Amino acid sequence: KESGFDDADSPDGTVEVRVPLMQGRVDVKLERVELGLAKARLVIREAIRNKDKRPPLTDRDYVPVGPVYRNAYAFHRSYLEMEKLFKVYVYEEGEPPVFHDGPCRSIYSSEGRFIFAMEMENRMRTRDPELAHVFFLPFSVVKMVKMIYEPNSHDMEPLRRTLSDYIDVLSTKYPYWNRSLGADHFMLSCHDWGPYVSSADGHLFSNSIRVLCNANTSEGFNPSKDVSLPEINLRTDIVDNQVGGPSASRRPILAFFAGGDHGPVRPLLLRHWKGKDADVQVSEYLPRGVSYINVMRRSKFCLCPSGYEVASPRVVEAIYLECVPVVIGDDYVLPFSDVLNWPAFSVRVAVADIPNLKTILAAVSPRQYIRMQRRVRTVRRHFMVNGPPRRFDVFHMILHSIWLRRLNVRLHGQD
């Protein structure tokens, strides 16, 4: 069951972990941490039940309202509770570049940007593990692949061994991993191999919060405890020139895709639509001198088929450029879908419906499209990469997703 804000029973204790009593004594600090979380659960549940009876909360920066949210009032209340309470402990063990480092200008930039921002975070980071609600394992799978993996060997065991050894060090030095069996710990990876590397430790795979770009339910991604990480392809530190686009009347192309022919979905898309329809412009590569970003800005819908894995950076690219994203794939859990109401501002197309793509998109009326595009503009703030991070941006939305999963875990002593 996915965590979300349209169910009065969620967030709820879907996972219970019994904590052995330390030398026969109650862990008072842990009890205090859990009491704070219990109070937050009550406040959020009350907000879920009373969403239609309360006016929007006041906020100096932004007030979530409207259909882009599954429950705007409950999300805002939860976000404010997170800001007030949530504390993250970042393990200091491990040497860069495999630990405490990551890529910041590539298709994997979500991984490096979060690690870097978490290292710099002051408000929600604690240096005292006794006060922490969650513990961050600051390794980078991208850097592991670069530094440890032997190219073309197809042998990922050295990566898994590195992670297994790291957890052994932490679990020997600190009590926190063993007391929860990893349930209040999280990892983050945007590399395709992230899910496989996480299987190096059974508790990490099954209990921990795994924040993954490769959010594939057919490969063990569990929406009730794992977090879908947006894949953001940043080539520079300046995002502003990748943001914004014209209104619907200045977008003559119905749908657009350009990209490599790989993975299980794209060959089908290219076979059905490549070079066959002026309204649905699908190709592998654009002609020399044609700007990819400019064509997206001239398109009403931007097609986002899965590649080798389910995630695609085109989803965020489309949102940045105010092009309504069309997600093509069957097993992908979209980012922040516990908060965001994706059908309000995007189109989901099953792989089997690729031949019907034009019919599906042409059925969206001009008035409906204008509404969807306006909503894309609204949700864009939740995918923005800022330095330093700003409230409600992608860094804080990732933290909020982790916060919700932590609310689903209750740690307590044995009876």
Residues 212-248 pLDDT 10s: 999 999 999 999 999 999 999 998 776 777 899 999 9
What is the spatial distance between Cα 60 and Cα 411, in angstroms, rounded to a whole number?
A: 35
What is the spatial distance between Cα 259 and Cα 283, in angstroms, rounded to a whole number?
A: 7
Q: For residues 312-322, b (16+ Cβ closer than 10 Å) or e, as one string?
A: bbbbbbbbbbb
pTM: predicted TM-score of the whole model, two decimal places = 0.94
Q: Is 369 exposed, middle or buried (0-12, 13-18, 19+ CB in 10 A)?
A: middle
Residue 358 has pLDDT above 50, yes or no: yes
What is the spatial distance between Cα 125 and Cα 86, in angstroms, rounded to a whole number?
A: 8
Q: Is the pLDDT higher at 7 or at 289? A: 289
Residue 24 has pLDDT above 60, yes or no: no
Q: Is 268 exposed, middle or buried (0-12, 13-18, 19+ CB in 10 A)?
A: middle
At residue 235, the pLDDT reads 80
Residue 7: pLDDT band with limits 50, 70, 90: low
The one-character DSSP state at 21 is -
Q: Is the pLDDT higher at 412 or at 355? A: 355
At residue 227, the pLDDT reads 98
At residue 148, the pLDDT reads 96
Residues 6 or more apart whose Cβ sits within 8 Å of residue 366: 248
Query: How does pLDDT run across 327-347, given as a tens digit for each residue?
Result: 999 999 999 999 999 999 999
Query: How does pLDDT run across 177-222, given as a tens digit for each residue?
Result: 999 999 999 999 999 999 999 999 999 999 999 999 999 999 999 9
Residues of the chain with pLDDT > 70, as a percent, come to: 93
Residue 390: pLDDT band with limits 50, 70, 90: very high
Cβ atoms of 284 and 298 closer than 8 Å: no
> What's the whole-number mean pLDDT along residues 387-398?
96
What is the rounded radius of gyration, in angstroms, for the C-alpha atoms of the chain?
Answer: 22
Q: Taking Cα atoms as reference points, which of 360, 317, 351 lies closest to residue 332? A: 351
Query: How does pLDDT run across 301-318, given as a tens digit for each residue?
Result: 999 999 889 999 999 999
Residues of the chain with pLDDT > 90, as a percent, come to: 85
The residue ranges of every structural domain in the chain are: 15-235+388-413, 253-383
What is the spatial distance between Cα 292 and Cα 280, in angstroms, rounded to a whole number?
A: 15
Residue 48: pLDDT band with limits 50, 70, 90: very high
At residue 54, the pLDDT reads 82
Considering the domain 253-383 in this protein, what is its CATH number?
3.40.50.2000
